[in-house]
Structures are given as C-alpha cells and as structure tokens.
Amino acid sequence: MAQRMIVKIDEEKCTGCGKCVSPCAEGAIQIIDGKAKVVAEELCDGMGFCLGVCPEDAITIEKREAVPFDLRKAEAQPKTTDVSIKCFSCGCGEDKGYLMPMRHKMESLWVCTRCLPRLIHG
C-alpha cells in the first residue's frame, strides 16, 4: 500500500445516474446495486475526470493508503462506447469524435474536441 490520490464516492449523495462511469477510461467505476462504486482501487488513476460530471457532488479525490495504480490492468479493461453521451454543442457522439467532460454555465456537460476551441476562444 502507498499514499496516493484516489476517487471517493459518497454513497449517501450518489443517485446511481452512471454519468461517472464513462469518463473513467480505466474502468475503475461501475454501478452496483444502484450506486457508483470504485470496483478496483488499482484501476483508479486519481485524475478525477469523473468529478466534473457528477450532478450530485458525490465524488471527491482524497489522498490515502491504497494499492498502487496498475497501468497494465487498466489498459487491459474492455473499452466500450457510451452512445448516450453527446457533445452539448454539435451533438456528435463518442463514435464520431473524442469527448471530454467540462463545466459550462454551472452545468456538467460533454464537449467534443472540435467544439472546445470555439468555447475557449469565442
């Protein structure tokens, strides 16, 4: 075990919406019994891409004792495309472009890399 940054999910706040699952490219988060859970600490890289998409603020990052991050195990996780996720600006999905979670006008949204520069630069 080592001290490192890792996701913590507050089950009291979590509604099980699943919005945090897709941003976790390593597959560390799954919905189990109607709640988001970190299923394997070694898959959580602590980057926190799941933070910005949680509408309930149920996710935080904390520094604590955890098993080391296992890049090989994370890369071996099956990769799936979530067809429900679309760019809020142009409507393209993960099948057409790379999407990133973002905050815009106090809302957690997805944006594609084609629309992001327009949002940044106007």
pLDDT tens for each residue of 2-14: 899 999 999 999 9
Is the pLDDT reported for residue 89 higher than 80?
yes
Per-residue model confidence (pLDDT) at position 110: 85
The predicted pLDDT at position 82 comes to 66
For residue 102, is pLDDT > 70?
A: yes
pLDDT of residue 98: 85
Give counts: helices (H), strands (E), the chain: 2, 6
What pLDDT band is residue 114 in, cutting at 50, 70 and 90?
very high
**Between 2 and 108, the higher pLDDT residue:** 2
Q: Per-residue pLDDT for 90 more than 90? A: yes
Q: Report d(CA 102, CA 59) in Å as an integer.
A: 15
Output the pLDDT for position 99. 85
28-78 pLDDT tens trace? 999 999 999 999 999 998 888 888 788 899 999 999 999 888 889 888 887
Is-contact 93 62, C-beta < 8 A?
A: no
Q: Which residues of 10-29 are buried (b: 16+ CB within 10 A; e: fewer)?
A: eeeebeeeebbbbbbebbbb
**Mean pLDDT rounded to a whole number for the chain:** 87
CB atoms within 10 A of CB 64: 13
